[in-house]
Amino acid sequence: MQDILKELEDRRVEARLGGGQRRIDSQHKKGKLTARERLDVLLDQGSFEEYDMYKTHRCTDFGMEETKISGDGVVTGWGTINGRPTYVFSQDFTVFGGSLSETHAEKICKIMDLALQNGVPVIGLNDSGGARIQEGVASLGGYAEVFYRNVQASGVIPQISVIMGPCAGGAVYSPAMTDYIFMVKDTSYMFVTGPDVVKTVTNEVVTAEELGGASTHTKKSSVADGAFENDLETLLEIRRLFDFLPLSNEAELPVLETNDPADRIEMSLDTIVPENPNQPYDMHEVIQKIADEGDFFEIQKDHAGNILCGYIRLNGSTVGVVANQPMVLAGCLDIDSAKKAGRFVRYCNAFNIPILTLVDVPGFLPGTVQEYGGIIKHGAKLLFAYAEATVPKVTVIVRKAYGGAYDVMASKHIRSDVNYAWPTAEIAVMGAKGATEILYREDLNNPEKIAERTKEYEDRFANPFIAAQRGFIDEVIQPHSTRRRVGRAFDLLKTKKVPAINKKNDNIPL
């Protein structure tokens, strides 16, 4: 018996060593943790249960039968994050560069199938040289099996991808179909074709970092939802995000105990909106003052800064926030912000996360860049997402709500449930000056008259009461009481039910 136990232990030790100490040292030298060290940080201590530790590849080409390493380049299983379960896979770069073989894919597929069956999220830690070159088409098939499962699981269980090394070729499409992608600065990159191919085909000279590093994907392409300094910080932030998310689309939202009183008054909100309507203020501050303990997990913070998206808690329960940010492009909606927020709203809806919308929007951003880029279609994404969302929706108009953007930003008309306005709200077809110049074109050469008419228009429309008279606003609230009012609204909406319309899928303007 002792021998058998020892053999088991020896096999485990060997498997845990992956591609060997030399390659582990090389991983560390690059500032990266190993696949197993990463799981130690991500999961609660001692909670990881590993599957398929002894699985090896079946390839016999290129002398591969001589090199079989237990686990075949990916560590899979499940564990807990603050007590709640998640399935995980963590690619081991020390074994064939973490490349994906047929058996490597089978391991990932196994935990994905279990995750979908059991209603538990999947977190994938990606660090891989792509398809296992020695296996050819078998590994392509393996990728496609993963892709298919990504789509089946979409909207059913949260899927989070963390890019912690190379991720290239078609391999990028599994992360691309998951809900969130986070990257590690300086040590991770994603691209469909690498710098060498780019040079050959387009003659562009570009480094891997410029082409697909964290900065590129968080700022320019918006492929990634965030990036952090190193492996440790990234994994700790994933733990933080995980705490906001339900385990599946049928699970209750997690509730975190809080000492922050639900009726906390925040007097500073009464003066946060400047006297001058053209002066910006930081919408982050409004969000943080409403949130439990000021905790806001922001998604895509380096992209389309004119809209803020992320998670807070109210009374301990998760709420998704979408908010115009007057500090960037005066808070205008444009292509990037509509796409960013549209996707966020759809995610919240899929996972029953209520949505709080804070509005300060002067309209859609004008210009040829926007029109040629398809703002009509992209702007419609956000409108569509809000209108189809059946989760509880509460809207607070903080300042401007002009034109089509008023309709889009979770207005009553597209079925927001509770719509509040601060006394500083201005709800109108357009800004007073623009409106006056159209209505009184004949007075354009008379600045005094225009100023007088503008003042008239402002007095009439630069307030929330015309909309409130029509019932488009349920109540004009004191800014200092926003946390209490919004929290109470969401509490009441917990039992909201909207009958589903029978259709195969909608046709959101992609």
Catalytic residue numbers?
169-170, 404-405
Q: Which amino acid is at 276?
A: N
**18 makes contact with ligand HXC (CB under 6 A):** no
| Smallest distance, ligand HXC to C-beta of residue 96, A | 4
H/E segment holding residue 350: helix 335-350
Helices (H), ranges, 243-334? 283-290
CB 119 within 8 A of CB 157: yes
3-state secondary structure of 280: coil
| Smallest distance, ligand HXC to C-beta of residue 196, A | 9
Number of shown-chain residues binding ligand HXC (CB under 6 A)? 16
| Smallest distance, ligand HXC to C-beta of residue 48, A | 25
- Return d(Cα 321, Cα 341) in angstroms, integer: 10
Query: Looking only at residues 88 through 127 of this chain, which bind ligand HXC when binding is defined by CB under 6 A?
Result: 96-97, 99
Q: In sequence order, what DSSP letters do the residues of 313-343 get, joined into one string?
A: EETTEEEEEEEE-TTTGGG-B-HHHHHHHHH
Nearest to 387 by CA among 347, 346, 443, 427: 346
- Of 140 and 262, which CB lies nearer to ligand HXC in the complex structure? 140
406 CB contacts (<8 Å, ≥6 apart)?
359, 361, 427
Tokens of 345: 């709203």
Query: Looking only at residues 345 through 384 of this chain, which bind ligand HXC when binding is defined by CB under 6 A?
Result: none
Q: Which listed residue (78, 89, 143, 182) binds ligand HXC by CB under 6 A?
A: 143
- Of 26 and 249, which CB lies nearer to ligand HXC in the complex structure? 26
Q: Which listed residue (23, 110, 240, 415) binds ligand HXC by CB under 6 A?
A: 23
**133 makes contact with ligand HXC (CB under 6 A):** yes
H/E segment holding residue 21: helix 21-29
Q: In sequence order, what DSSP letters do the residues of 97-121 get, joined into one string?
A: GG-B-HHHHHHHHHHHHHHHHHT--
Q: Which listed residue (53, 109, 140, 256) binds ligand HXC by CB under 6 A?
A: 140
Q: Which listed residue (32, 36, 38, 132) binds ligand HXC by CB under 6 A?
A: 132
| Smallest distance, ligand HXC to C-beta of residue 73, A | 9
**246 makes contact with ligand HXC (CB under 6 A):** no
| Smallest distance, ligand HXC to C-beta of residue 358, A | 41
Q: Which listed residue (18, 85, 129, 403) binds ligand HXC by CB under 6 A?
A: 129
The burial class, CB within 10 Å (0-12 / 13-18 / 19+), for 4 is exposed
**449 makes contact with ligand HXC (CB under 6 A):** no
**168 makes contact with ligand HXC (CB under 6 A):** yes
- Given the rule CB under 6 A, which residues bind ligand HXC? 23, 96-97, 99, 129-133, 140, 143, 166, 168-171
